[in-house]
Structure 1
Amino acid sequence: MTSNAAPSSSSQSLTDDELRRVAELMSARHIDVAAGLDATLIAGGRSNLTYRLDAGETSWVLRMPPRKGRTPSAHDVAREYRVTKALADSAVPVARPLLLCEDERVIGAPFTVVEHVSGATIRTATDLDGLEDQVVGTVSRRLIEALAALHRVDAEKVGLAGFGRPDGYAARQLRRWTGQWELIGDGSHAVAAAELSRRLAASMPAQGTTSIVHGDYRIDNVILGLDADDDPRVAAVVDWELSTLGDPIADVAMMCTYRHPVFDLIVGQPSAWTSPRIPDISSLAQAYATAGGVSLRAWEFHLALAYFKIAVIAAGIAHRARVGAATGPGFDSAGEAIGIYLDLGLHALDSGGGAI
């Protein structure tokens, strides 16, 4: 995986003893660790921490939640392990999972080890500037095609029949994210959050289709194969901790709502996905339909729910900053995005309830 590395803070670094215990577990699973492990914290990740593990010329990736300031269900590496294991031989590209450890005594949190996938992670507008317009257009199309392919996977056939309840996804999401808000929400936005939650509950649509959903899909949650400029590809879809069985329309809406420039306040810099070089919301939705995706019924409702969810994500990041669990770009500005996202959600509901 190609990306910039960031220096670790004391709460984010892995000690020599922790790396030794990780190596012992890997060896017990017949993963050949020929030399001592080195760990580098990979830049990005406002939820789980991601490390590149190196032993000689061999590399892996370790994923774990933050040690402090966690919110329920937001850092589920065991869930991520299960879904990627099921998808490893499907048409959806993933980093093959190798190890799951749920014993927090090993490194202070549960973690997974997955194969290292070579490629590029495009997070910032500067990263995107390194790509020609034709490549950006093809990458955007490949992203949509990978999402549509995910939504076509038969969950039962890949062993995920019990991965989530098959219906009522939007209602469960609203309850979950409203509950998250009640735990970590900013009091100055309480009225708007309560109003958006109430209106979403009052306009809840019926669910027409069920599929595996990623839950957090956008350009920086994939690894891109850019070795051939004329045919860039998605080498692996990553960051699956919010995945479940649910309404695929919600996945498309979440991807689209991240396009708003206010997302830059969460990442702390101009992001690739908010760039005007990426297709706009309407174009992304139309491209999804062209790629064989489901009909986007009750589209404005799903956009509003997605805006609410991102507002809560921003509140969670601000919460971790307040309790001293994390510092760095985005942690000091994410709180400024909360009210904007809540307003966007209310506006989406005022726009109607059509389909694309």
Structure 2
Amino acid sequence: MAGAVRQPIDEKAFGKFLEENQLIEREKVGIEHKKLTWRVGLQFGFGQSNPTYQITDASGHRYVMRKKPPGKLISKTAHKVEREYRALHALEATDVAVPKTYCLCEDDSVIGTPFYIMEFLDGRIFEDFLMPESKSADERTALWKEAIQTLARLHAVDVKKVGLDKFGKAKGFYSRQTQTWATICISQSKAVDVETKEPVGQLPHFDELVGFFKNERLQPKDRATLVHGDYKIDNLVFHKTEPRVIGILDWEMSTIGHPLSDVCNFITQFYLARSPGTSASSSSSGFLPGATPGLPQPQDILQWYTEISGYDPRPELSWGAAFNIFKLAGVCQGIAARVAARQASSAKAKHHADTRGLLAEFAWVLAQEARDSAQAEAKL
């Protein structure tokens, strides 16, 4: 959803840059060749870690501008709008639905940070994954089917053909991810509450989980595709009336990686519905079998994915789900660290912080399931 601009930019400098460089191919988007004035009227708020703005020209045509956050960034690898632009631009020539990109500006002197401009997509975004706005159970099924088939098409892209073969490393994705998240969790665990002086503490079963994920014999077989990194229903724009994805948003975590990571991220809510203590949070209980008319279950979703991608993730699903829930626990531990530092104080933030232990416990349950399954197969 878009609202008032919370982080203003220098609109005069922004407009001057666009007009001097004529970076938008106006004839292709129906804009007359005349001097244009630009207005930054709205800022999108939902799900945006990179400040995102709706901009409008004098002819009333709308665009979207995404930029890095202002100020010094904690992580050098986060908020890479340049990578977002590169992925989106490369995919324009494929059958993957993405917004058209118009320009990338890497000059900090214009509005303070790098930014890019892309097409405004006028469609539906479902913030509630159960899609209560859908017209019928059949439409809900069709929307979810389209979403997973869109992911399958993304994973089928020939990265070399679109110039993204150097977008990330082709091997060792989960080993690198394990090391990254282990380092993050260790750092977060040391955060101290400013009042009680108590540390946030480490996640339950942390050492066992990291040891399990580092065991290359148990890891999924190496695969390399373009992965979105945060593929889920609310990062998709659907056609206003048809069950059709017209664009995938929020590409800042995209890389070359294992397709299982996107698949597991997409069906996270189905796993959370099984997790003790979390099924009542958000709308996870609605993902239990039969709870929501027309909502397909994982077996259907994975079959639709396999038919298009050619990769069947089901034999590796327990491992991938365990890792995904472990990451989610790490995210909640990070929120706990921010709460401890009083950088986050909302009831929602505190709730997420409090679920980190339950999520880690559940990740360990899934990890044990994956380990037992692998051992049983080894005996056959």
TM range (shorter): 0.7 to 0.9
Displacement of 1:144? 0.9
TM-score normalized with structure 1 length: 0.83
Distance in 1 (CA, whole Å) between partners of 2:74 and 2:348 is 17
Deviates more, 1:202-211 or 1:234-243: 202-211
Distance in 1 (CA, whole Å) between partners of 2:130 and 2:312 is 34
> Which residue in the other structure is 2:85 paired with?
81
Deviates more, 1:77-86 or 1:187-196: 187-196
| Corresponding residue to 1:212 among 226, 237, 243 | 226
Equivalent residue letter for 1:145? Q
| Corresponding residue to 1:13 among 4, 7, 28 | 7
The reply to whether residue 255 of structure 1 matches residue 266 of structure 2 is yes
Equivalent residue letter for 1:50? T
Is the CA contact 1:120–1:226 (under 8 Å) kept in the aligned structure 2?
A: yes
The reply to whether residue 22 of structure 1 matches residue 19 of structure 2 is no
Equivalent residue letter for 2:23? H
RMSD of the TM alignment (CA)?
Answer: 3.1
Is the CA contact 2:40–2:53 (under 8 Å) kept in the aligned structure 1?
A: no
User: What does 1:108-257 correspond to in 2, within 5 Å?
Assistant: 108-124=112-128, 128-185=132-189, 187-202=200-215, 204-205=218-219, 207-228=221-242, 232-257=243-268
User: What does 1:38-77 correspond to in 2, within 5 Å?
Assistant: 38-45=40-47, 47-56=49-58, 57-67=60-70, 70-77=74-81
User: How many aligned positions are there?
Assistant: 341
> Which residue in the other structure is 1:295 paired with?
312
Displacement of 1:199? 2.0
Deviates more, 1:90-99 or 1:206-215: 206-215
Is the CA contact 1:192–1:339 (under 8 Å) kept in the aligned structure 2?
A: no
User: What does 1:244-283 correspond to in 2, within 5 Å?
Assistant: 244-259=255-270, 260=272, 270=283, 276-277=291-292, 278-283=295-300
Gaps of 5+ in 2: 27-34, 192-199, 375-380
Gaps of 5+ in 1: none
SS at match of 1:289: helix
Equivalent residue letter for 1:58? H
Is the CA contact 1:63–1:77 (under 8 Å) kept in the aligned structure 2?
A: yes
Displacement of 1:70? 4.1
The reply to whether residue 309 of structure 1 matches residue 327 of structure 2 is yes
Bigger RCO (CA 8 Å, 6+ sep): 1
Is the CA contact 2:130–2:286 (under 8 Å) kept in the aligned structure 1?
A: no
Distance in 1 (CA, whole Å) between partners of 2:13 and 2:109 is 10
Deviates more, 1:323-332 or 1:209-218: 323-332
**Identical aligned pairs, as a percentage?**
26
Deviates more, 1:316-325 or 1:30-39: 316-325
TM-score normalized with structure 2 length: 0.78
Is the CA contact 1:72–1:180 (under 8 Å) kept in the aligned structure 2?
A: no
Displacement of 1:215? 1.1
Distance in 2 (CA, whole Å) between partners of 1:304 and 1:30 is 45
Q: Deviations over 1:173-221 (max 9, x none)?
A: 1122222323434633344334322221125425342111111111101
Is the CA contact 1:256–1:285 (under 8 Å) kept in the aligned structure 2?
A: no
Distance in 2 (CA, whole Å) between partners of 1:7 and 1:332 is 26
Distance in 2 (CA, whole Å) between partners of 1:305 and 1:293 is 23
